[in-house]
Chains A and B, each alone.
Chain A
């Protein structure tokens, strides 16, 4: 089991506000890890530190053996290996669906337009949005936008996919269509890190569930262990509030 991401003693503060305190966390290749926890527990911050959208205050992050916090490290090349899906979709408003998926490939990965469109088409078919290639983001529903966002991230063909509460901004009816897409991705063997409130989803697909509370990893284990047999008091508290 090769460790794709190895995080040691990670800490992150915003001013005097300590959001992450001494996090030790690793992800193996092909693993699906779901991170759960209350608002403010630091789960999104942890995810955003991994692709350096936030700069850690301390600790180290090793990706495939490389220290990504080193000054000489190429942050842009690194980010192309991690795909990120945001809670607010963040599709590029001045590009249509196809262009959203190809612009990164063409400008960053230097692929040809033909090749980029072929790859984009492949992943748009996977998410079921291949018939909307000329639509602009403002013409799409939330669920459609999120699926395009997933296709956009996949088109960069990353090693790891990061999902930051992908369904939290969606109407209940649309949550299902996005979760279905994500379940298909799990089947394809992709390494995925998902911050989510969808406990049923986590229970179904996760190899490992990590529960965060107040900036630390309070407990982690298989879905079985966490949902049915939580050891920590605060895990039990949280689950009682969230699962009815």
Chain B
């Protein structure tokens, strides 16, 4: 009986389910990416060495305090509450009628940004001090050190945590149904409201979330493995002999440049 009903629900409402899943994925992917950028920016700012005295010290301390408040607020309150405050608040206080999808991405992004800030700050702190010192010793300032040496290594290290955030976002977009975003849970509520088969409907929903999160986890693990690639072989120094001769490399780079003209 149960499987019959479930089967019927799927065959009747699959467009709605899929549309909901698409919205869920769209919002989670975009928000995780934007949130990561926010985290990179703020995490880097929070690890700028504080000058010992002067105007710059005061400005930096002020900025750090503001950023700390941002992180604490968005980590310390439930996203469902943040969503309501931001969406209805922007309408009532500022008179801005936000498009719901835009609101969804905005809310999840700044929420993710708060968590990613701390993840990335932790990633930066865990990088060996010698990397910073070597970069400084060849004359790199903080920005160049971050861009070319530190942050690339941080990104590789935090990939598991990033994947975690992504999976959390997929599930937590469900709370956006309170502001009427047509993601998967909202669609499920609508479907269940039509046919009153709450258990069977949400059973399907459950599976859809599971499929999404499992797929994302698999893909990210594949990316991790690809990034680490060569490490899995046992390289004996002798085998590193590169076939290309130095003159060839330089010739190739020169030819590449001449093609640009």
A residues whose Cβ falls under 8 Å from a Cβ of B: 51, 53, 76-80, 82-84, 86, 88-95, 103-104, 107-109, 113-114, 117-118, 121, 125, 130-136, 138-141, 144, 149, 152-153, 156
Contacts and interface: CB of A to CB of B under 8 A. Distances in A.
B242 A133 contact: yes
B140 interface: yes
Contact of A90 (B133, B139, B231, B237): B133
Given A90-B130, A94-B156, A121-B246, A79 B138 contact: yes
Nearest to A120: B246
Given A93-B131, A139-B240, A104 B140 contact: yes
A158 to B, nearest CB: 9
Contacts of B253: 113-114, 117
A107 B149 CA distance: 12
Given A79-B139, A83-B137, 13 more contacts: A53-B136, A76-B140, A78-B139, A84-B134, A92-B131, A92-B149, A107-B144, A108-B139, A114-B253, A121-B246, A133-B249, A144-B237, A149-B134
Most buried by B among A53, A80, A104: A104
A125 B237 contact: no
B237 to A, nearest CB: 6
B249 A86 contact: no
B65 interface: no
Interface string B186-210: 0000000000000000000000000
Contacts of A104: 138-140
A138 B231 contact: yes
28 contacts: A51-B137, A53-B133, A79-B136, A79-B138, A80-B138, A80-B139, A88-B130, A90-B133, A94-B149, A94-B152, A94-B156, A95-B149, A103-B149, A107-B144, A107-B148, A108-B140, A109-B139, A114-B253, A114-B254, A114-B257, A130-B246, A131-B240, A131-B241, A134-B240, A139-B237, A141-B237, A144-B237, A152-B138
Given A107-B148, A131-B240, A92 B231 contact: no
A76 B153 contact: no
A132 to B, nearest CB: 5
Contacts of B33: none
B69 to A, nearest CB: 31
Nearest to A152: B138
A53 B140 CA distance: 12
Interface in B122-166: 128, 130-131, 133-141, 144, 148-149, 152-153, 156
Contact of A86 (B134, B149, B250): B134
Interface string B38-59: 0000000000000000000000
A93 B137 contact: no
B230 interface: yes
B235 interface: yes
A169 to B, nearest CB: 11
B215 to A, nearest CB: 28
A90 B131 contact: yes
A77 B138 CA distance: 9
Given A117-B249, A121-B250, A132-B240, A92 B134 contact: yes
B182 to A, nearest CB: 41
B131 A136 contact: no
A125 B135 contact: no
Contacts of B249: 117, 121, 133
